[in-house]
Chain A
Amino acid sequence: MHSFINFIMGPMVWISFLIFFIGVIFRLIGLFKQINAKENFVYTYLSFKYSFRSIFAWLIPFLPVSTRKSPVFYSISYVFHLLLFLIPIFLLSHVALLEESMHWSWVTLSDSTADSLTLIVIFSLIFFFIRRFVVPEVKFLTRLSDFLFILIVALPFVTGFLAYHQFFAYRWMVIVHVLSGELMIILIPFTRFFHMFLAPLTRAYTGSEFGNVRHAKDW
Chain B
Amino acid sequence: MKNEKSWDWHSEKKEIPVKEWQNRFNWVEEHSVSPDGEKIASIVNTDEAEFSVCMNGNIWEETFEKAWCLRFLPDGRLCVLASNDEEWTVCVDGTFWETWFDYIWDLQFTPDGSFVAAAVQKDGQYGMSVNDKAWDSFYENISGAVLSSQGTSAAVVQVDPLGQADIEGFNKGIFAVALNGIAQPEKFMNIWDLAFDSKGEQIASSIRKNRLDYSISKNSRIWEKNFQFSWKPEFINKGASVIAPVRQGGKWLLFKDSVPFWDKSYEQLGKLAIHGDGQKIAAIVSNAYGKWTVSENDKIWDFHCDSMISELFYSDNGSLLIAIFKNQGYWDVAVNGKPWNIKADKLWNPVISSNNEILATRMEKDGTFFLVVNGKVYQEPFDMIFEPKISPNNDKILLKAMKDGIYLRQILSLEKVL
Contacts and interface: CB of A to CB of B under 8 A. Distances in A.
A40 B289 CA distance: 7
Interface string B287-320: 0111000000000000000000000000000000
Contacts of A44: 289-290
A167 interface: no
Interface residues of A, number: 4
Contacts of B250: 38
Interface in A21-42: 38, 40-41
A46 B289 CA distance: 13
Contacts of B290: 41, 44
A38 B251 CA distance: 11
Nearest to A45: B290
Interface residues of B, number: 4
Contacts of A40: 288-289
A40 B288 CA distance: 9
A120 B250 CA distance: 51
A32 to B, nearest CB: 15
A44 B288 CA distance: 10
A39 to B, nearest CB: 9
Nearest to B289: A41
A38 B250 CA distance: 9
Nearest to A43: B289
B307 to A, nearest CB: 13
Nearest to B291: A44
Nearest to B306: A44
A212 to B, nearest CB: 13
A35 to B, nearest CB: 11
Interface in B279-293: 288-290
Nearest to A39: B289
B306 to A, nearest CB: 10
Contacts of B288: 40
A41 B288 CA distance: 9
B409 to A, nearest CB: 47
Nearest to A41: B289
Interface in A77-127: none
B162 to A, nearest CB: 37
Interface string B376-410: 00000000000000000000000000000000000
Interface of A: 38, 40-41, 44
7 contacts: A38-B250, A40-B288, A40-B289, A41-B289, A41-B290, A44-B289, A44-B290
- 3 A-B pairs with the lowest CB-CB distances in the bound complex, closest first: A41-B289, A44-B290, A40-B289
